[in-house]
């Protein structure tokens, strides 16, 4: 199984949504598993993040805000930074085979519509890119 790390600053919205979307939409079809982490994790997931995922029919009970230190392994097939602040300052992850950046605006502190826009952008931009990078052709 291929492993993906989705990394941002707080691990409360964008990276959590991305983790849930990848595992919901690509886990079986591409034989991969996503995890997410924050450089400075908020320690909780934004209520709006849980709400927008639930409205999309995605399970949220297993999600939690975590740091890189909370991850059990560091060997990832792909690391995706989703925060522009990390584009140039991504920590060195010696086990990462490939690192890419796809920036998304942080919806934190904004109206619920910003969370809805973020999840739609993640579906439209992130999922196809991960498929391109890791999903093998049948």
Under a CB-based contact definition with an 8 Å cutoff, are residues 65 and 44 in contact? yes
C-alpha 108/C-alpha 92 separation (Å) is: 26
Give tens-digit pLDDT for 14-73: 999 999 999 999 998 999 999 999 988 999 999 999 999 999 999 999 999 999 889 877
Sheet of 99-101, strands arranged across: 32-38, 2-8, 78-81, 99-101
State yes or no: pLDDT of 1 exceeds 80: yes
C-alpha 115/C-alpha 119 separation (Å) is: 6
Which pLDDT score is estimated for 138?
43
CATH at 110? 3.40.50.2300
Nearest Cα neighbor of 102 from 57, 133, 59 is 133
Q: Which pLDDT band holds residue 95 (cuts at 50, 70, 90)?
A: confident
Give tens-digit pLDDT for 60-73: 999 999 998 898 77
Which pLDDT score is estimated for 96?
82
Domain residues for the domain of 72 are: 2-134
Cβ burial of 66 (10 Å; 0-12, 13-18, 19+) is: middle
Q: How many domains does the chain have?
A: 1
State yes or no: pLDDT of 136 exceeds 80: no
Which pLDDT score is estimated for 50?
97
State yes or no: pLDDT of 89 exceeds 80: no
Q: Write down the pTM of the prediction.
A: 0.92
């Amino acid at each position: 199984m291929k492993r993906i790390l989705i990394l941002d600053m707080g691990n409360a919205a964008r990276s959590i949504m991305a983790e849930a979307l990848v595992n919901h939409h690509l886990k079986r079809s591409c034989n991969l598993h996503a995890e997410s982490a924050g450089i400075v994790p908020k320690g909780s997931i934004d209520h709006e993040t849980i709400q927008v995922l639930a409205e999309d029919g995605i399970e949220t009970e297993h999600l939690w805000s975590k740091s890189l230190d909370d991850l059990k392994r560091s060997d990832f097939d792909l690391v995706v930074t989703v925060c522009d602040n990390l584009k140039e300052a991504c920590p060195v992850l010696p086990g990462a085979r490939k690192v890419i950046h796809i920036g998304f605006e942080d919806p934190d502190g904004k109206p619920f519509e910003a969370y809805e826009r973020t999840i739609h952008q993640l579906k439209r931009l992130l999922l196809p890119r991960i498929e391109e990078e890791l999903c093998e052709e049948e």
